[in-house]
Chains A and B, each alone.
Chain A
C-alpha cells in the first residue's frame, strides 16, 4: 500500500498531501543521474591523472601471461638446443675422431639457414622474443637436418669399419689343440733345406698332415694351386692392404675366386713344396710387404671362443 506523506503548508496553515508530478519525478531523476554521472566523471578523471596504468592493466596482464607462456616454449627450445649441441659435440669430438673422419666446420653446420625469415611472421616480427625463438627454431631445424646427414655418413663409416675389422686376419689358422709345435720365428734364419741364411717371411705352425686350416679373416681367395716352393698354396686377399698365404697344404677345400669368412675351412695341412715335414707356413702381407703374423694370431684367444668362430663361419 502506497503510503501518503504530508507536508506542512504555512500558506494554508495545514497539512497537504505530497503529490509528485511526472515533471517533478523526471526532474528528480535527472538530478540523481546528473550527480552520479558527475561522480563517475570525477572518479574517472582522477583515475586517469593518478593511476593511468589502470587503463591498460588488462592488456599488461595478458601480455605478462603470454610472455610467461612463451618463456616456457623458449626454455623447451633452449633445452633442445643444448641436446643438439651435445649431439654435435659427440659427433665431432668423438665419432669423427674414432672413425678418422674430417670434422664438420662451424660454417657448414650453420650453413643454409635463413633465420626467422623462413617463417611468415607478419606483425609478430616486431616482437623480439618471437623473432628470436623462430630464428632459433629455424637454425635448430637446419642443424638437425645436417646432423641427420652426418650420422648417416657416420653409420656408413661404421659399417665400413665393421667390414674392415672382420676382414683383418685375427685368429690362428690352426686350432691350438692340433698344433704340435709353435716356434715364433720370423725374419732371417738358416734355411733347413737350402742351408743358407734367408729371410723367413712367415710363421711355421707344425701340425699333423690333414689338420684343418682356417681362413683368418674375411676375404676373397685369389690363388689356390700348386706354386713352386710354396707347394699347394692359398692366397686370400682381405682388402685394406692385407693378404694372407697358407702354404704346403695337402688339400684345398676352397676354390679360387670364392669369398671366405674368418674361421672357414680352406684346406688341410700337408708337406708339399719346399718343406721338410708336415706344417703350415703362414704369411701375412701388408701393402705387398711381409709382416710378422704373430701380432695377428691372438694366441691368448680362449679355446671356446676359437671354437665359436669356427662354428659361426660354418653357417
Chain B
C-alpha cells in the first residue's frame, strides 16, 4: 500500500507518479461504511432474534396486548356511549314529565354566553369589542368576588350589628340547598293538579322527608298549624322577624315549635314532609314583606357562594310544574 504507484505518460514518454484519485477513495470509504452498517444491522438482528431481555419480552407482550384489545375496547366504548345516551334521554323524559319543563344544562348556558363562534358577526371590530367586553365582565366578576370577601370581613367585627342582621331572613331554610333541589320558583307556575298557570307564592325546595328545616332569621313564632289533611298548606309555621318581615314554612312533616316562641337564625324548626296538597316531599317557603309575598330567592345571602346562588336563581326563574 505504502509503495508508490506510477503511471505511463505517452506524451512525455516517461513514468510519472500517479496522483491520488479522490473519487476512488470516496468510493472505497462509502463502501466501507455501507458494509459496516450492513454488518451492524445483521448483528442487531441476530442479537434481537437470539437474545431477548425480560424487558423486551414484557414490552412485546404488552404491545401485542394493547393491539389486540384496543379494537374490542373501542367497540365497547361505542356501545356504552349509546347506552348512556339512551339513559340521558330517559332521564330528560322523566324530568320533563315531572316538572313539565325541559332540563336546562348550566354548562350549555355558560358556553353559549362565551362562545363567540355562535355569533354571526365576523368583523374584526366586533371581535375586538366582544373580547374587550368579555374581559371586562371577567374582571368585574373577579373584583366583585373579591369585594364580597372584603365586605364579609368588614361586616364581621360589627358584632352589635350581627344581631340585627340575623333578624332578616337571609339564611336558606334547608342547610344544603343547591340548584338541583329547587323544584319550582316564585311566580307564575303550572299547577300540578289541573295543569294550568297560577301564582305560586313561594319557593318549592325538594328534599327528603325528615330533612331539617331551619329558621331563616331570628324571630318569634306567629302561627303554628298542624294539619295532616291532603289539601292546602298542611302543617305550617309563620315566623315574624319584625320590621315587616315574615316567613312561612309549609308542607312540613312535623314541628315542635310553640306559638310565641323565639327562634334564632339557623335553629331547626321542623322537618320536611308531604302534608297538604303536595305530590312530593318538599318545603314550600314563602317570604312576606309588609304582608306582601316576595321572591324568597332574593334573600339568600348567608352561607351561599355566588355561583351557587346564581344557579339557584336561574333554576327558580324557569317556569315549571310546582309541587304545590
Contact = CB atoms under 8 A, between A and B. Distances in A.
Interface stretch (B5-13, B144-152, B310-318): B5-13
Contacts of A241: 230
Contacts of B61: 123, 126-127
Contacts, number: 238
B76 A124 contact: no
Contacts of B81: 80
Contacts of A69: 66, 70
A262 interface: yes
Contacts of B62: 63, 66, 126-127
Interface residues of A, number: 94
B90 interface: yes
A298 B198 contact: yes
B25 interface: no
Of A44, A84, A87, A119, most B-chain CB atoms within 10 Å: A44
B67 A66 contact: yes
B183 A301 contact: no
A32 B74 CA distance: 55
A188 interface: no
19 contacts: A5-B18, A39-B32, A41-B43, A55-B44, A56-B53, A66-B66, A73-B74, A97-B281, A98-B98, A126-B61, A127-B62, A137-B80, A158-B97, A161-B98, A165-B192, A292-B232, A295-B276, A298-B191, A305-B196
Interface string A145-173: 10110011011001001101100101100
Interface in A65-84: 66-67, 69-70, 73, 76-77, 80, 83-84
Interface string B1-22: 0011111100000010010000
A93 interface: yes
Interface of B: 3-8, 15, 18, 31-32, 35-40, 43-44, 47-48, 53, 55-56, 59-70, 72-74, 76-77, 80-81, 83-84, 86-88, 90-91, 93-95, 97-98, 180, 183, 191-194, 196-199, 206-209, 229-232, 274, 276-277, 279-281, 323
A154 B95 CA distance: 10
A306 B191 CA distance: 13
Given A15-B6, A95-B94, A162-B97, A33 B68 contact: no
Contacts of B276: 295
Contact of B94 (A154, A242, A286, A305): A154
Majority SS at the chain A contact face: helix
A6 B194 contact: no
Given A55-B47, A59-B56, A298-B193, 9 more contacts: A3-B7, A60-B59, A73-B70, A83-B84, A121-B69, A155-B93, A161-B279, A242-B230, A301-B196
